[in-house]
Structure 1
């Protein structure tokens, strides 16, 4: 009988000791979880600190430049194209004029216009004639075009999208594809100025540096930079506006999300005049 009583006491002490040990271990784990050593590490992995950073800022343009193609735009652009004049109005989701814009490379608004077949390219800077309303003259011939309105509203989300319009009579449906062929030679001559584009890669999903050999010409500052590069996909839908990296050389960094055919327009100013050099590339 005494042996049974002693065994019961020992068993009871073991149970109590085990419970106390478990309680201490659980309390210790709670402290690790709340002082930031475990949950803090998870936040660092999933939070902004570990998101891929664009070290070149908006040099990658509007797609751009920053990937804004999946954002809902809070600005709607209404465009009226006619012979000799283009009118633009910017309104927010409530129909109010959007007038609070950042100056972006010396201008409030950059208007890129390309023909449907991507042969014609113009870079215009309409004047603000009233709050949220811009106007510019042009000498575009009759035809089908796409406009890209490049602005930076201070308080509203916005991404650049293609705006089809027609000058003169409409001759067909917008949005047809173009059968562009990639260049085999990246040296272009425009009005006796020779510029060679030297891409570091032609692969999608990675940063690509576009270097331009101006063959002895010295570029003049144009809109606050040594040059500008605009890129469109073959359908004329995906827009990228690229500004040069810091330094005294015409070097641009960008990337392509998807393989395909793209057209690149490089703008440089020599002796007070802007020249546009077109290139067609195939991104693998």
Structure 2
């Protein structure tokens, strides 16, 4: 199983050049490569269903990269993640290459400023993790700011519950967090792999500037896993826990404080 752990050495701010990011469990570097991406159309979007299109480019030659230039990472060529500045809205989708560009449908309900990331790996073994900004209008009022996250280690979506242990987390040090998945009635979740992993965990600091995407290891029992993750700086982080319970994809928001 391939784990993407984006710690301090891997994190990229908006518009950065890809320099590694989807390392194997325990870290590791990918060679630097000049990749960039070009969003096609306006970055000012209207709320509703949006066809989002872009090109992935070799920044030196401006040559467009197709699906033939990439390998599958957790069963997909590209993972695209979107969240708003309040860290309430979240999407994790998978663009497809249509012969000239990458495209995917995104759904926006709330107005506001959004961050969008694309992640993947080239056939040459180079990981990329690139971001950009979007603005959404003509929808429901934006969530209030700032996020004001608290340490909330257990939460649910009405049917399933995700719980992290209360281990103290220090910046720059790998944390080992037990992840327990249950049904809302307290019974163990019926977990099956999601994109080749026990679960997917995306973590973002309150300022939204960086992103961690990691995959917990399976535990001794089917509904428990172990999350190894390094938070590069102190402060509050939003976590989105994604897993399949009873054949339904669940997305549970939690938050942690990092000392």
Higher strand share: 2
- Of residues 153, 157, 162, the one that matches 1:195 is 162
SS across alignment from 1:139: strand
Deviation at 1:208, TM superposition (A): 0.8
> CA offsets per residue over residues 130-158 of structure 1, 9 Å max, x none?
25x21111221243211010111223755
| Structure 1 equivalent of residue 185 of structure 2 | none
More displaced stretch, 161-170 vs 241-250: 161-170
CA distance in 1, matches of 2:146, 2:112: 15
SS in 1 for 2:65: coil
Mind listing any 5+ residue stretches in structure 2 that lack a counterpart? Answer: 12-20, 140-144, 183-187
Is the contact made by 2:50 and 2:105 (CA closer than 8 Å) also made in structure 1?
yes
**2:5 is matched with which residue?**
60
**Larger helix percent:** 1
Structure 1, gaps ≥5 residues long: 1-55, 171-176
Render the CA deviation track for 1:54-76: whole Å, top value 9, x for unaligned: xx974424544547999855111
Aligned to 1:151: 120
Query: Over alpha carbons, which structure has the higher Rg?
Result: 1
Cα shift readout 1:226-247 (whole Å, capped 9, x = no counterpart): 1100111111111111012255
The 1-side partners of 2:113 and 2:31 are apart by 27
> What TM-score comes out, normalization by structure 2 length?
0.75
**Quick check: 2:37–2:130 contact (8 Å CA) kept in 1?**
no
| Structure 2 residue corresponding to 1:274, chosen from 230, 244, 249 | 249
In 2 relative to 1, CA 163–244 (structure 1 residues): closer, same or farther, beyond 3 Å? same
CA RMSD, aligned part only?
2.8
CA distance in 1, matches of 2:30, 2:160: 39
Which residue of 1 is the match for residue 150 of structure 2? 182
Are residues 1:138 and 2:80 paired?
Answer: no
* Contact kept? 1:75, 1:158, Cα under 8 Å: no
Q: 3-state SS of the aligned residue for 1:162? A: strand
Pairs within 5 Å for 1:40-59:
58-59=3-4
Deviations 1:225-278 (A, max 9, x none): 111001111111111110122555422211112212211111011122211111
Question: CA-to-partner distance for each residue in 1:78-97, whole Å, 9 max, x for gaps?
Answer: 22454521112101121101
**Structure with higher RCO (Cα < 8 A, 6+ apart):** 2
Instruction: State whether structure 2 residue 37 is matched by structure 1 residue 77.
Output: yes
Give the equivalent residue in structure 2 for 1:87.
53
**Rounded Cα–Cα distance in structure 2 between residues aligned with 1:199 and 1:73:** 39
Partner secondary structure for residue 274 of structure 1: strand
- The alignment's TM-score, normalised by the length of structure 1, stands at 0.69
Query: How many residues end up aligned between the 2 structures?
Result: 221
2:80 and 2:116 in contact (8 A); partners too = yes
